[in-house]
Structure 1
Amino acid sequence: MKALVTGGAGFIGSWVVEQLLQDGHEVWVLDNLSNGSEDNLNSSVGQSGFKGFVRGDIKDNHVLEQLFANGFAVCYHLAASINVQDSIDDPKTTFDNDVVGTFNVLENCRKHRVKMVFMSTCMVYDRATGAAGIDETSPIKPASPYAGSKIAGENMVLSYFFAYGLPGAVIRPFNTYGPRQKASGEGGVVSIFTNKALRGEPLNIYGSGEQTRDLLYVEDCARFVVAAGLDDSVNGQIINAGLGRDISINDLAVKICGNESQIRHVDHIHPQSEIPKLLCNSQKAKTLLNWEPRVSLEDGLLKIRAWMKGN
């Protein structure tokens, strides 16, 4: 199979590229390197299935038209502005990348009859209210322009499925973490906390720290993403993926640093965007894709700690 991964030099994207290559597919990568890095592709470049990296933007139709001439079977669309806080401060950039850019990619998928797997986010949901967790029918609440732009992208992908019969799926992984994730502002809480802990620096928690997250290890996420592109049963569907276990930010911080005196609580920059409880129900992914997470939170935290020490 020939596959295009937009945002393929990013944190999750680079792991998706690796999974596709491991499964024997041919892969092209498009990334403008605003969030990603060519270094993330070091283990992929040189493999027989890796067909090329293009530094370009999803808002550039000329670049997209040239790429889509390769005749892809599927486009894994991960390219996006990903920072919730930045989207509140600068909504236009997020809208341009996550809505206009997605429209451009979708139009090329329609022209060439290429299936699209659209990477959305758990941040589109309202809080989890029960022990069963958040499933795909749970209420949504776009509490940031990032979430709003992702919902717009989701609806466009689904509209192309219903209006044009274009194969496509919307995937909503929960809070993904692991090697290659940045330990800076746009990075995830696990990477930021682990980096601080290794440096002996304070771990700053926004607000009370009672908010919870469902943390999915990146290799489990990559398997999920790839599977959604290979299975026709998910066309026209929205599918969650998560560990199925949530943890408070307070407890996560203690688990990572082992020293409560190293933890600080600070005022939230944008409290209106906070989701108090995130807990994923992945039953649909298990039923349709035979997918389940394999890496526990404890094992995943050890893996990212070892990677950070080595890098």
Structure 2
Amino acid sequence: MKVLVTGGAGFIGSHIVDKLVENGDEVIIIDNLSTGNMENINKKAVFYEADIRDKEIDKIFEVEKPEVVIHHAAQIDIQKSIKDPMFDGDVNIIGTINLLENCKKYKVRKIIYASSAAVYGTPKYLPVDEKHRVSPISYYGISKHTPEHYIKVYAELYGIKYTILRYANVYGIRQDPKGEGGVVSIFLDLLLNGKNPTIFGDGEQTRDYIYVEDIASANVKALKLADNEICNISTNKKTTVTELFNMMRDILKSECNAIYGDERKGDIKHSTLNNEKAMKLLDWEPGYSIGEGLTKTIEYYRLKREKNA
């Protein structure tokens, strides 16, 4: 199968590319390298340095004619979306429409879209399932949800199939603490350098942390399953930020301590996603517990650090 992955040089996208290549699929990557990294690019994939908002991607579609598009190129920083909503909307909404226009023109069979738990806003109940109301409290949540509507209408008008995957908090190898960093990569970078991380708020806020390889396997499953469906991709398990920090400190045998600061605007207190629909429709389940995923991530960076020392 010929698959185009946007953001394929990034944290999540590069893991998806690796799994596709491993499965024998022909893979094309579009990435502008704003947060992606050349080191992440699989040598067996065809790479184009381009922005999803550019008209020139028409030429890439014309030459490559992908059967499926897996769309991960995005602006993903909630705080940046609040500071610069114009940029956030331009990348996440206009960029997706540009992709959809090319999907229509070059008769792409299916698009798999990386959405987010941020679309739900403050949960009315936990765990959040796909029937939960959508009410984002950040511009990022809005800009990730809006393309879902465009995708559905393109599906109705032009017969492009889709699977929308709403991710919980993804962590793992290749996550950049200074670029698209989540709390795990930020904590790890500080702990490895003997610095005390800051926890915003009281540390009792909970998240559903899912290892990146489980995200990648869900995307591969979606190539052939869950047509025209929305699925949460999560572990359905909650962990407080303080618990997360303590687990990481224990694995590293670090003596660093957390510093507690003020809560941040746009942050949700508690978030856990119900993954039953994905398990049923995608024949998928998470393979890593939080402890296993953290251990694998920490060991990778610890060894990398030792080699570079």
The TM tier, using the shorter chain, reads over 0.9
Alignment correspondent of 2:202: 208
1:292 and 1:109 mapped to 2: Cα distance?
Answer: 29
- Mapping of 1:95-244 within 5 angstroms? 95-114=89-108, 115-130=110-125, 133-184=127-178, 186-231=180-225, 234-244=226-236
Q: CA deviation at 1:275?
A: 1.1
Does residue 279 (structure 1) correspond to residue 272 (structure 2)? The answer is yes
Q: Secondary structure at the match of 2:223?
A: helix
Asked whether the 8 Å contact 2:122–2:136 carries over to 1, the reply is no
Alignment correspondent of 2:4: 4
Q: CA deviation at 1:186?
A: 3.1
Aligned with 2:69 (options 61, 72, 75): 75
Q: Secondary structure at the match of 2:64?
A: coil
Question: After the TM superposition, which of the residue ranges 281-290 and 9-18 deviates more from structure 2?
Answer: 281-290
**TM-score if structure 2 supplies the norm length?**
0.93
Q: Secondary structure at the match of 2:76?
A: coil
Q: CA deviation at 1:276?
A: 1.2
For residues 255-306 of structure 1, give each alpha carbon's deviation from its aligned partner in whole angstroms, at most 9, with x where no partner exists.
Answer: 11147861111123x42x1111111111111111110001111011111101
For residues 72-109 of structure 1, give each alpha carbon's deviation from its aligned partner in whole angstroms, at most 9, with x where no partner exists.
Answer: 11000111111110000001111110000000000110
Q: CA deviation at 1:171?
A: 0.9
Does residue 61 (structure 1) correspond to residue 55 (structure 2)? The answer is yes
Alignment correspondent of 1:254: 246
Asked whether the 8 Å contact 2:249–2:256 carries over to 1, the reply is no
1:152 and 1:129 mapped to 2: Cα distance?
Answer: 21
Alignment correspondent of 2:33: 33
Q: CA deviation at 1:66?
A: 2.8
Asked whether the 8 Å contact 1:240–1:284 carries over to 2, the reply is yes
Letter in 1 for 2:91: N
Aligned with 1:302 (options 258, 271, 295): 295
1:285–1:148 distance in 2 versus 1, CA, 3 Å: same
**TM-score if structure 1 supplies the norm length?**
0.92
1:247 and 1:284 mapped to 2: Cα distance?
Answer: 21
2:21 and 2:180 mapped to 1: Cα distance?
Answer: 27
Alignment correspondent of 1:89: 83
Letter in 2 for 1:147: G
2:59 and 2:223 mapped to 1: Cα distance?
Answer: 21
Letter in 2 for 1:31: D
Q: CA deviation at 1:211?
A: 1.0
Asked whether the 8 Å contact 2:35–2:179 carries over to 1, the reply is no
Letter in 2 for 1:282: N
Letter in 2 for 1:70: E
2:62 and 2:224 mapped to 1: Cα distance?
Answer: 18
1:99–1:59 distance in 2 versus 1, CA, 3 Å: same
Asked whether the 8 Å contact 1:254–1:260 carries over to 2, the reply is no
Question: After the TM superposition, which of the residue ranges 116-125 and 5-14 deviates more from structure 2?
Answer: 116-125
Letter in 2 for 1:286: M
Q: CA deviation at 1:158?
A: 1.0
Asked whether the 8 Å contact 2:155–2:161 carries over to 1, the reply is yes
Alignment correspondent of 2:307: none
Asked whether the 8 Å contact 1:158–1:169 carries over to 2, the reply is no
Q: CA deviation at 1:164?
A: 2.2
Mind listing any 5+ residue stretches in structure 1 that lack a counterpart? Answer: none
2:57 and 2:155 mapped to 1: Cα distance?
Answer: 24
RMSD: 1.5
Alignment correspondent of 1:267: 262
Letter in 2 for 1:143: I
Letter in 1 for 2:299: A
1:304 and 1:25 mapped to 2: Cα distance?
Answer: 26
Asked whether the 8 Å contact 1:135–1:281 carries over to 2, the reply is yes
Q: Secondary structure at the match of 1:140?
A: coil
Q: CA deviation at 1:239?
A: 0.8
2:223 and 2:137 mapped to 1: Cα distance?
Answer: 29
Q: CA deviation at 1:207?
A: 1.2
Runs of 4+ in 1 over 6 A off after TM superposition: none
Q: CA deviation at 1:185?
A: 5.8
Q: Secondary structure at the match of 1:61?
A: coil
